[in-house]
Amino acid sequence: MMKKASILLLTGLWLVQCTSPVPDSPSTVEQFISPDLNQEPTFLNLKEGISVPTWDLKFSAGNQGYLVDLNEQAGTVVCPADSGVDFATAAFPGTISFQTDTMDQLAIGERWLLPTSYNPMDHSIQGRGQVYFLRCADYRRLKLEVLRATPTEFQFRWAEEQEDHTFLPEQAETVSCTADAPARWSPSLGSALSDVDWHLGLVSKPITVPNVGTFYMPSVQINTETVSRYALWEGGDLEGDLPAASTFTWQDFRGETQPLGYGGSQALLVYHPEPPYNHKVIVEHPEQILVLDLNPDLLLVQFLDYDSGVAVIQLRRP
C-alpha cells in the first residue's frame, strides 16, 4: 500500500517521506532537509529516522591512565588556555585555534593532570590547573577544568559562555566511570545520554588556517562506532534494485577518521572559490550514493543539494 506524502517535525530536523516505495521491497525513499547548520547541527539515527543528542567528553580510568577524550566524530574541539590562566577569570581569546583528537594524539588526554600529585593509597590524582576552552557538538562554548580523578570517578568544573561573552555561574560535576565503562558527558544532558546513537552527522566545523584565522565550514561526519565501513556507489539508483554487498568497494576508517568530512579525501561537501560558484559550498557529486554498513543493515544516502547552511538528502533504509 502506498503511503501518502507527509512532513514530520523531528528534533531539529524536517523529514519528508516520499510516496514511492522501492520496487520488490518494503523500503521507501525518504527525503531529509536539515536545519540551518550554521545555527544548529543534526546527528541522525538513520534506522529510526530521528535526530538525537550526543556526547562531548569521555572520561576513562584504567591501565591507560586517566584520560579525557573529545567526541571528534561529532565535531567537539578544544583550545588550551595559556599556562597560569585562572578558571574564574578565563575568557575565550579573540583569535582561537581549536584542536581535536586525532588517530595519533588526544587533545586533552592526560595533559590535565599533575603527575607528582598521584596518591598510591587511593590511586587518586589532582589536576594541574589547566583551563580548556571547549566548543561542543551542539555549538555551546564552555570553559573547563578537570580537578581530580580516581579509578571510579572524575571531578571537574565548567561554565558556559553567553552571547555577550560573559559566563554563566560555574558548575561542579562528578561523573562515575570504570576501566570497562567510561563516562560520556555533555553540558545539556550530563552523563544521562540516550541509548539511541547516531550514524550520520551534519555540522558546521571550525577549520583553522595558520596565520589567517578560524572559519566554520559544513561537514558530513560519520560515527565510526556505529558505522563499520562505507562505499560510494557511482551512478546508483535509490529506487532500483540494491546490488549485493560484495559488489561494492568498501572502505573503512583506519587511515582517516573522517574521509567524507570537510577537507577529507572524499569530502561530500566542497568549498569552491572559483566561478561560477564564487565562494560557495556545493555537493561535489550529487549523482553519487553513499552506502553505509550498519551491520547487518545497509543504508543508502544521496546528497542532493547544499545551500546557505541547509542540506537536502535522500535516504533509503530497510
Is 244 inside a domain boundary? no
Q: Is 305 helix (H, G, I), strand (E, B) or coil?
A: strand
State whether 204 and 258 are in the same domain: yes
Is 300 inside a domain boundary? yes
Is 107 inside a domain boundary? yes
- Cell reading at 215: 572559519
State whether 208 and 97 are in the same domain: no
Is 79 inside a domain boundary? yes
Please tell me the predicted confidence (pLDDT) of residue 242. 86
State whether 84 and 101 are in the same domain: yes
CA–CA separation, 70 and 76 (whole Å): 6
Residues of the chain with pLDDT below 50 are 1-23
Please tell me the predicted confidence (pLDDT) of residue 12. 44
State whether 14 and 120 are in the same domain: no
State whether 170 and 101 are in the same domain: yes
Cβ–Cβ < 8 Å for 42, 61 = no
Tell the residue number behind the cell numbers 565562494, with chain if given: 279
Q: How many domains is the chain partitioned into structurally?
A: 2
Cβ–Cβ < 8 Å for 131, 91 = no
State whether 297 and 219 are in the same domain: yes
CA–CA separation, 73 and 264 (whole Å): 13
Please tell me the predicted confidence (pLDDT) of residue 11. 39
CA–CA separation, 207 and 289 (whole Å): 26
Please tell me the predicted confidence (pLDDT) of residue 18. 47
State whether 179 and 233 are in the same domain: no
Is 32 inside a domain boundary? yes
State whether 44 and 68 are in the same domain: no
Instruction: Tell me the β-bridge partners of 83.
Output: none
pTM more than 0.75: yes
Long-range contacts of 172-179 (CB under 8 A, 24+ apart): 175/59, 176/152, 177/59, 177/60, 177/61, 177/152, 177/153, 178/61, 178/62, 178/151, 178/152, 179/60, 179/61, 179/62, 179/63, 179/151
Is 155 inside a domain boundary? yes
Domain span at residue 107 reads: 57-185
Is 278 inside a domain boundary? yes
